[in-house]
Structure 1
Amino acid sequence: MTASETSSPDVADPQRGSDFARLSREIRQAGLLERRRGYYFARMAINVILLAAGGVAFALLGDSWWQLLIAAFLAVVFTQFAFIGHDAGHKQIFRSRRRNNIVGYLHGGITGISYLWWVGKHNLHHANPNHEDHDPDIDLPALAFSRDQSRTKRGIYRWITKYQAFLFFPLLLLEAVMLRIASVQAVVRREVKRPVLEAVLLTLPLAGYLTAVFLVLPPLLAVVFIAVHQGLMGVYLGCSFAPNHKGMPILNKEQEVDHLRKQVLTSRNISGGRWVDGLLGGLNYQIEHHLFPHMPRPNLRRAQPIVESFCARHGIPYSKSSLRSSYAQVLRHLHDAGAPLRGRTPSVEIPG
């Protein structure tokens, strides 16, 4: 869900002559850092209505295998709630940290993700995207994002990394569950600022969810419903975040680049119409989002041509591709990263 203001320099950059400062002035003069509370109130209201509609349909449908369609629908709705939690963590909704936190805590509880645990983790990512020593998003047990990383894998993780391009989407089925587990661990270990509050917010919605599912559905169908709901939510979350940085340049401690280039060179935008904006929760404007993490989601579309033009004038590579092409690039990159583990295994072409 997020990154606070500590994740990147404020737009009032003291280096007034820097490229980032000049770009920031263009963005600020265009009014793109102004809050869009009306948009967010409408978006949150729609999400609540959709959640309520899913709940009513679930109750009316009862003992039926058609419930799996409701599970898929709720996977989409829950992910949309997660997008709002992400924006709250970035202080995109309100200027007040307290108000953003209230929204973030509530949405984290609904989706089963510890809000402050996610904030801390995501701040590290925003500060050093695709940095092999500092970005937690490319430090995963079961995946390698460089050939050097793949050589460090052991046991079952080594086998998974060997064929990670083919296992990537199946692994995403576990993403939502793994986020829940990591959230519970963070709360139990008291690694978050308000462990009691987060424990309550994670426990009560989960208890209500499980109670409803097992009251309405027979045991087998209830288990399958939960598996479909959580599995598809994990795939949706993973497919929303994976195209943004995977397959882009990876930095190390020997590479020194300024803030502007660090964020632009390691990020990829996803082109498409407003349906892509809605589908990916605005994360398709990853370059603009990383440069200005406080910028409200609906303003990212307007900021995109300003940032792209600025990069073109300053000779900074600006990456964007279609959704399909971005996944192909991710899979090719993962396949290449696992190459050292396959030895003489013939290379298999990844579609796309």
Structure 2
Amino acid sequence: MPSQSSLAVPPGTVVTDEQKAAFAADLRKLRAKATKDLSMEDFDHLRKLERWGRICSLLGYGTAWIMPNPISALLISTANVNRWANITHPISHGGYDKIKGIPEKYTSKRFAQGRRRFIDWLDWIIPAGWDQEHNQLHHYNLGEDDDPDLLERNMEWLRSSKLPKWARFAVIAIFACVWKPIYYAQSTLRELRVKNAKSPEEAANVAFSFEARAWSPRHKEGREYWMRCILPYAGIRFVAIPALFLPLGVGAATSVLLTSLLAEVFANLHSFAVIVPNHSGDDLARFEDPIKNKNEYYYRQVVGSVNFRTGSDLNDFLHGWLNYQVEHHLWPAMPLSQYQKLQPQVKALCEKHGIPYIQESVFSRVSQMVGIMTGSRNMIVEKQGLVVNSEAAAV
């Protein structure tokens, strides 16, 4: 799929404060109308996606016992990604909180909280850590040094390494297969620890994700990681669920275990492909200074994000609705169904006000992401609204 970015507004274009203000004013009107239009139809749409995920899960486990196979694994993994991306993600942002009459368990204050984690969203990731790392730090510091998911900075060790290109690709491939427990569980837990620290000194002493004490059961941080992230999920996914099939024989239970392990690899690869490229590429910006006002906030969400192909429930379901990354970053607390309506309008406003808007296939964006991770591509760097790296300015 060719790039759908506006040729009239190439990446790296300087946008004035006046343009940003006019753009923000139009976005506020668009948001007001969308908020007014919220209804139970938006919630019914979410429930439909939830049913799709449950059907995938039932079909996957319903056939996994026969023999280890990739079809059952793919169904299970699709259900896994759906639960995170299409259900937990928008609910945790409060996307359905303003719809009157929805069950309380679908509100951000109730969903996956406390013991409901084991009902609503059992994953490697702690819900409270996800809220702090993703909903707060990532969304409101996009592309800045305070963004915990700033890929170019996080991968500097690989970008500047002396490894040959093939070895860098191998590192990325292996990482993509296990990135949820290796990166996201650790990163979200770390940010939660920093938030809960009782003093600046305690916060500064919190272990970084790849320090030994963050992993080793001999240390407090490592024990917390294993007890809160790894053991609950692994115990249910790879022990309890396969054990349910023991009445059909040890072979059936073993088949479910092996299929579940393959499904976990698929779920990691799937989520990696639709999440990590969202804010990486030589046509997207990162920022050396903090946001100065709401107008700047809106601008940065657009030029620091990329959309994938959009348009239908099935397509969007498979993308985890992360193909509406621009619109989601503009308005995180919005039902998924509204993004489908808002996307063409936001794109038109970007062209109207001279704001670069990037939309390409997920496969093209994975290529861009790999380029950033290996060091063959560099992101646009902005400071005070100007591009400060000459290489990116020529994009």
TM-score, scaled relative to structure 1: 0.72
1:249 aligned partner: 285
Percent identity, aligned pairs only? 19
Alpha-carbon deviation of 1:93? 2.4
Alpha-carbon deviation of 1:32? 6.9
User: Aligned AA for 2:342?
Assistant: A
1:346 aligned partner: none
User: In structure 2, how many angstroms separate the alpha carbons of the residues matched to 1:245 and 1:188?
Assistant: 23
1:233 aligned partner: 267
SS at 2:96's partner residue? coil
Within-5 A mapping of 1:147-226: 150-151=159-160, 159=163, 163-165=167-169, 167-178=171-182, 181-182=185-186, 206-209=234-237, 210-213=239-242, 215=246, 224-226=258-260
Alpha-carbon deviation of 1:108? 6.0
1:71 aligned partner: 73
Aligned length: 307
Instruction: Tell whether 2:131 aligns with 1:102.
Output: no
User: In structure 2, how many angstroms separate the alpha carbons of the residues matched to 1:141 and 1:19?
Assistant: 29
1:54 aligned partner: 60
2:355 aligned partner: 316
2:88 aligned partner: 85
Residues 1:253 and 1:31: Cα distance change in structure 2 (over 3 Å): closer
Q: Deviations over 1:241-266 (max 9, x none)?
A: 12211112221128868112111111
SS at 1:137's partner residue? coil
SS at 2:57's partner residue? helix
Q: Deviations over 1:83-104 (max 9, x none)?
A: 1111111111233897224334
Contact kept? 2:298, 2:330, Cα under 8 Å: yes
Residues 1:108 and 1:138: Cα distance change in structure 2 (over 3 Å): farther
Could you say what the CA RMSD is over the residues aligned between the two structures, in angstroms? 3.9
Residues 1:141 and 1:126: Cα distance change in structure 2 (over 3 Å): closer
Within-5 A mapping of 1:251-290: 251-253=287-289, 258-274=296-312, 275-290=314-329
Q: Deviations over 1:217-239 (max 9, x none)?
A: 55976664343122111111111
Residues 1:92 and 1:178: Cα distance change in structure 2 (over 3 Å): same
1:124 aligned partner: 137
Among 29, 34, 42, which residue is 2:33 paired with?
29
Alpha-carbon deviation of 1:117? 0.5
Q: Deviations over 1:48-96 (max 9, x none)?
A: 333233333334x2xx233x43223211111100111111111112338
Q: Deviations over 1:22-41 (max 9, x none)?
A: 31112322557625111112
User: In structure 2, how many angstroms separate the alpha carbons of the residues matched to 1:164 and 1:149?
Assistant: 7
Contact kept? 2:302, 2:357, Cα under 8 Å: yes
Residues 1:33 and 1:213: Cα distance change in structure 2 (over 3 Å): same
Unaligned runs of 5+ in 1: 1-16, 340-352
Residues 1:252 and 1:330: Cα distance change in structure 2 (over 3 Å): same
Question: More displaced, 328-337 or 309-318?
Answer: 328-337
User: In structure 1, how many angstroms separate the alpha carbons of the residues matched to 2:347 and 2:52?
Assistant: 32
Residues 1:201 and 1:112: Cα distance change in structure 2 (over 3 Å): closer
User: Aligned AA for 2:372?
Assistant: H
User: In structure 2, how many angstroms separate the alpha carbons of the residues matched to 1:130 and 1:318?
Assistant: 16
User: Aligned AA for 1:240?
Assistant: V
User: Aligned AA for 1:103?
Assistant: F
User: Aligned AA for 1:213?
Assistant: P
Unaligned runs of 5+ in 2: 1-20, 198-223, 379-395
Alpha-carbon deviation of 1:165? 4.6
User: Aligned AA for 1:253?
Assistant: D
SS at 1:103's partner residue? coil
Among 43, 47, 51, which residue is 2:49 paired with?
43
TM-score, scaled relative to structure 2: 0.65
Contact kept? 2:137, 2:146, Cα under 8 Å: yes
User: Aligned AA for 1:127?
Assistant: Y
Question: More displaced, 317-326 or 87-96?
Answer: 87-96
User: In structure 2, how many angstroms separate the alpha carbons of the residues matched to 1:253 and 1:316?
Assistant: 19
SS at 1:22's partner residue? helix
User: Aligned AA for 1:264?
Assistant: V
1:345 aligned partner: none
